[in-house]
Amino acid sequence: MGISHVTSTSFANPDLLSGRVAVVTGSSQGIGRAIAVELARAGADVVVHGRKLGEAAERTMQMVRDCGRKVAFVAADLSDELAYEPLVKSAWEQFSRVDLWINNAGADVLTGDVAAWSFEKKLELLWRVDVRGTMLVSRLVGQRMRDEGGDGALITIGWDQAEQGMAGDSGEMFAAVKGAVMAFTRSLAQSLAPKVRVNCVAPGWIQTSWGEQASEYWQTRAKRESLVERWGAPEDVARAVCFLASPAAAFITGQILPVNGGFRYGGNVE
C-alpha cells in the first residue's frame, strides 16, 4: 500500500533563512507554492511570481504571510524573452535585494487545453519556458548576484529520469528539455563560482495536478518506481530546495539532487 505522507509537516528551522529574500518563479500553485511556503517557514521573505496576479497567486501570498514573513508579487510571461530583464529588475526592487532565486517555472503540457496540442507545439512551448526561460533568467540573476558580491544561491528544476530516458512522447520531451536544464546548471555553477552557488533539484513522480487525475496505470507505476512506494508531494521537493538554498549547503554547488524516493529500475508496470 505504500507509506503514508502528511504534506502539512514542515521541518524548517524558522531562523535558517532569516534575513534572506527569495524569489520563486512559477509559485502560484503546485511545487512552486510549496517552495515559497517552505522558504517562508525557514525565515525568508518571498517574492511570488506568476503570469498574472490571480486567486492562486493571492493564496500563495497569504500562506507566506501566515508564516509571519513579508511577501510581494511580480508578473511575467516566461514564454516571452522580452519579459526576462523586467522580471529580474522588478524582483530586486521589491525588497531592494535578492539572495535566493528558484527557477521553478515550467510549461504545463500535460493538463488543460495544451494536453491536446501536437508534439511539435508542446516541444516549442517547453523550449521557450523551461529551457530559454531558465537559462536566460538564470544568467541575468547570477550576474547580478555576483556583481553585488553576496553569497547568493540559485536553484533550477530538472527531472530525475532525464539522464536515463523514458519511453513515449512526454518522456522524449521532458528528457530533452530537463536534461538541457541540468547540463546548463552544472556549467553555470562553474561560471559563477565562488560567489554564487548553483544547484538543481530533479523531482521524480510528484503528485501535482496531473498526478491527481492520472490513470490507474500511472498511479501504480509511480509507486512501483519509488523505493519508498509512494508518490512524492510538492513539499518533498520544497524541503530539498530549502536545504540547497540554506547555509547548511554552503559547500554544495554544481550538483543535481534527485528527489524521487529512490528510483527503482525496472519498476514500471507491464
The answer to whether 234 and 259 have CB atoms below 8 angstroms apart is no
Distance of alpha carbon 137 from the chain centroid: 14
Q: pLDDT higher for 9 or 140?
A: 140
Of 22, 17, 44, the residue nearest 246 (C-alpha): 17
The answer to whether 78 and 129 have CB atoms below 8 angstroms apart is yes
Q: How confident is the model at residue 60 (pLDDT cuts 50, 70, 90)?
A: very high
Average model confidence (pLDDT) across the chain: 92
pLDDT for the residue numbered 152: 95
Residue 4, pLDDT > 50, answer no
Detail the DSSP E strand segments found in 93-252: 100-103, 153-157, 197-203
Was domain 21-257 assigned CATH 3.40.640.10? no
Of 101, 79, 111, the residue nearest 150 (C-alpha): 101
Q: Please give the model's pTM, rounded to 2 decimal places.
A: 0.91
pLDDT for the residue numbered 265: 74
Biggest alpha carbon–alpha carbon distance for the chain: 54
Residue 10, pLDDT > 80, answer no
The answer to whether 200 and 156 have CB atoms below 8 angstroms apart is yes
C-alpha cell at 119: 508534439
Rounded-to-integer distance, Cα 137 and Cα 150, Å: 18
Q: For residue 56, give the H/E element and its range.
A: helix 55-66
Q: How confident is the model at residue 269 (pLDDT cuts 50, 70, 90)?
A: low
Of 181, 178, 196, 187, the residue nearest 99 (C-alpha): 196
Range with lowest mean pLDDT among 4-8, 16-20, 53-57: 4-8
pLDDT for the residue numbered 266: 66
Written as one string, the DSSP assignment of 199-230 is EEEEE-SB-SHHHHH--HHHHHHHHHTBTT-S
Q: Is the dihedral of CA 250, 252, 256, 257 positive or negative?
A: negative
Residue type, 64: V
The answer to whether 134 and 103 have CB atoms below 8 angstroms apart is yes
Of 106, 98, 86, the residue nearest 39 (C-alpha): 98
CB atoms within 10 A of CB 223: 20
Which residues are 102's β-sheet partners? 24, 155
The answer to whether 37 and 60 have CB atoms below 8 angstroms apart is yes
How many residues are present in the chain? 270
The answer to whether 201 and 232 have CB atoms below 8 angstroms apart is no
Could you state, in order of their start, the residue ranges of all structural domains in the chain? 21-257
